[in-house]
Amino acid sequence: MSYKDKYKLRDEMYGANIRDIRVNVSEQNLNSVFKESPVYYQVVDVDSNDKYDLQITDNSDAKDTKDFIAPFHSSIIAGRTVEWKNDKWIVIHYDENSEVYKSGILRKCLSTLKWLDSAGDVQETWFTYTTTALSNFGIQDGKIINLDNERRQLTIQNNTHTSLFTKGRRFVFDGRAWKISAIDRLEDNLIYLVLDADAIDPSKDNVELRIADYVKPNYSIQLDQTNISLKVGDTFIPSVTVTNNGTPLLSPTLSFVSSDPDICTVDELGLITGISDGQATVTVGYKDVYMIIEVTISVVESHNYSVMINGDTTITKSKSKSYNCVFCDNGTEVHISGLFRLTDLNGNSTSSAIITSQSNNACSVRGDSIGYVLLHVESDDGLISSSKQIQIKSAI
């Protein structure tokens, strides 16, 4: 490889300027010895089970707070809750300013908040006490908050469920009830809560489960149809509504099971497909509540149309005879309108006979000269037809 090629390769690997080169070299050097440090640990994300490589050191301000650094390309961010040394820790600060590594602060979690979501499912998130008070408390940044026994300030992860918190939501922890009085969502991925002490209400607070305003779920499933009939190959999707204590749930996760997949199948979205003639049931479920749909599948009969012309095969010259036609489907007479016409035996127009009248699938044919003609009949759409040969005979 020429020197020119070596410089090109170097530029592709490290960048074209001195600063980029030094940043990349520093990052590679750090990564190469990162796991050799005595303060290296691998922590596990409580929610996703992702693993993060960290170097964790003591924080001089508080024993329950740790500083850490992570490789530059680590996916750890503020708000992540991790398990380390059998305890849960939340990332309360994260700094991405360095181009070689990332740094942050972990704080030890004390317990969890538990609540029922709108679907009646129990949700839970870890929390730690906040060390930076909201501005209206006048507490200096970086100091542990010493609030009175009637107020707590918590830091929690900002996620799909906690983002729905509003003032007034209640929780039970530390053997007491608490109510949100202030919410701060200004920092990415974190929520700061101020909770005031509230009285336990035995009629609605479940202290054992640590859930305030606990209402036992009461699920119900409503179907638009409980009996359906399909042809083989036809499909149907039932309309399903699930309620919890009378309140409809948004996008509930349903289960669908066919009692006989040889008769009908059903997929995870509830699409029922007729497979063969017979009867089966489809069970719709949500948690431990189920409803049954009775399904009847019938075979689609194929059409086999035909038409027959009734009447004599001979007509005496200058005389007339009547003819009629009957349409059938699989041998059963059906009502279809037909139209008669005459040709010679080659399908060309003829003067040997003439249709003098026709209506209601019947016609009258008069023989005008000796010979043979074909009497044709067709359905209105021309898909069903038949012919009958007629001889025009001499009167002598």
CATH of domain 111-135+148-198: 2.40.10
Q: Do domains 219-298 and 305-393 have the same CATH topology?
A: yes
Closest of 91, 57, 89, 59 to residue 75, by C-alpha: 91
In whole angstroms, give the CA distance from residue 297 to residue 275. Answer: 8
Class of CATH domain 219-298: mainly beta
Please state the domain extents for the chain. Answer: 34-105, 111-135+148-198, 219-298, 305-393
Strand 227-231 with 289-298, pairing: parallel
Lateral strand order in the sheet of 176-184: 111-116, 122-129, 151-157, 190-198, 176-184, 170-173
Give me the phi and psi of 26, to 5 degrees please. -65, -40
- Chain position carrying tokens 């309309």: 239
Class of CATH domain 305-393: mainly beta
In whole angstroms, give the CA distance from residue 140 to residue 149. Answer: 20
187 DSSP 8-state letter? S
Question: Is the whole model's pTM more than 0.85, yes or no?
Answer: no
In whole angstroms, give the CA distance from residue 190 to residue 188. Answer: 6
Per-residue pLDDT tens listing for the chain (396 residues): 665 566 566 666 655 566 566 656 656 656 677 888 899 999 999 999 999 999 999 876 678 899 998 988 889 999 999 999 999 999 999 887 666 678 899 999 999 999 999 888 999 999 999 854 443 444 444 444 444 468 999 999 999 999 999 999 999 999 999 999 999 998 889 999 999 999 999 999 999 999 999 999 999 999 999 999 999 999 999 999 999 999 999 899 999 999 999 999 999 999 999 999 999 999 999 999 999 999 999 988 788 999 999 999 999 999 999 999 999 999 999 999 999 999 999 999 999 999 999 999 999 999 999 999 999 999 999 999 999 999 999 987
